[in-house]
Structure 1
Amino acid sequence: MDIAFISMALSQSQVQQQASMSVMKLAMGITEQQGEAIQKLISTTDVTAIQHAAQPHLGGNIDLKI
């Protein structure tokens, strides 16, 4: 058995696992922020905020003819 090859493979495996955990933690943080935003939106009584969240593309442009 080649000790250097085994050592290198083990090190690469550890780096891949650390990178995977970092990505998972980032995704969990984003999901938590989105959940908090949804809870805040649900608890609000501001109808315009709820409508804008449901259809954010409406009301952004006004067509005028002079």
Structure 2
Amino acid sequence: MVKINISTPIFYLISATIVQFISQREVSWIQNISISLVMVLIMVLYNWSKIPYEWNKDKRLNKKDKV
């Protein structure tokens, strides 16, 4: 499982909620939560993309076995 730092999306959710409540007295929960979820998905995909995939490993092992 990929470990992610979830503090950034939570910080955004809390800060956006506080700012909207102070300035408008109305909080758009769906927008805040959806942006936080998108942030989590982007972080998961970014961390997943940093892990190298050894796609050539099987080919090298098969060549050594045949020789």
Q: TM-score range by the shorter chain?
A: 0.3 to 0.5
Higher Cα Rg, which structure: 1
Q: Using CA pairs below 8 Å that are at least 6 residues apart, which structure has the higher relative contact order?
A: 2
Query: How high is the TM-score relative to the length of structure 2?
Result: 0.38
